[in-house]
Structure 1
């Protein structure tokens, strides 16, 4: 019989899987169910923070406009799970076919997710996507691989 901790970790991994599925399907409604209504997101695009699920979905809508077909890959997901809070980190990459028909392998970002168990569901209350920064050039480094 699995422990509650094992059950919770499996549920969080399923939520990450739903993000991957939701992005591939460009399913905003499906993605909406994964985030808390008051999620705070530190995404790769300005501004510094996006507050609320509507702002998070606006980011996904913006990303989807660039792609005919889009995929999202997660590597090296590590989770730490408590009773009602959890966090995880991984590498993530959006790739696919752009609207003009060009295939792109995208770029890897560092991703962090913070989950809270709300009414029995593990929802993302904070996420952050970032790229390493080259201090000398003042630019993000987008060609690294995990």
Structure 2
């Protein structure tokens, strides 16, 4: 029988799978169920932070407005799970077909998730997405692979 920590980790991994499914299905309502109402997101798009689930969903709506079809992939997800908080990190890649019909392989980003267990459900309370920076040029390095 799995320990409570193992069971919680499995539930968190299911939540991450739901993010992937929600993005592929362009399902804002489904995605909304995965975040706390006060989620703070440090996303790749300005401004420096997006506060609240509506702000987070607006970022996803912007993505859905550009993509006809969305693909999303997570690699190397590592989780640390406590009693009612957990954090994890992974590499993520958003790709697909743009509205003009062009296919894009997207870019790999670094993703950090912070979860809070609320009413028995693990929800994302904070996430951060970033790309490495080439300090000399000041440009993001978007062609790296995990």
Give the shorter-chain TM-score range: over 0.9
Partners of 2:105 and 2:51 lie apart in 1 by: 29
- Matches for 1:62-141 after TM superposition, within 5 Å: 62-141=62-141
Cross-structure match for 1:18? 18
Partners of 1:134 and 1:65 lie apart in 2 by: 29
Partners of 1:124 and 1:99 lie apart in 2 by: 29
1:82-132 per-residue CA deviation (whole Å, 9 max, x = no partner) reads 000000000000000000000000000000000000011000000000000
Gaps of 5+ in 2: none
Partners of 1:4 and 1:10 lie apart in 2 by: 10
1:2: Cα distance to partner? 1.0
1:49-95 per-residue CA deviation (whole Å, 9 max, x = no partner) reads 00000000000000111101001000000000000000000000000
Partners of 1:108 and 1:25 lie apart in 2 by: 20
RMSD over aligned CA atoms reads 0.4
- Matches for 1:26-45 after TM superposition, within 5 Å: 26-45=26-45
Partners of 1:97 and 1:24 lie apart in 2 by: 11
Structure 1's consecutive aligned runs of 4 or more residues displaced over 6 angstroms after TM superposition are none
1:32-63 per-residue CA deviation (whole Å, 9 max, x = no partner) reads 00000000000000000000000000000001
Partners of 2:77 and 2:3 lie apart in 1 by: 20
Partners of 2:129 and 2:139 lie apart in 1 by: 16
Q: TM-score, normalised by structure 2?
A: 0.99
Give the paired residue count. Answer: 146
Gaps of 5+ in 1: none
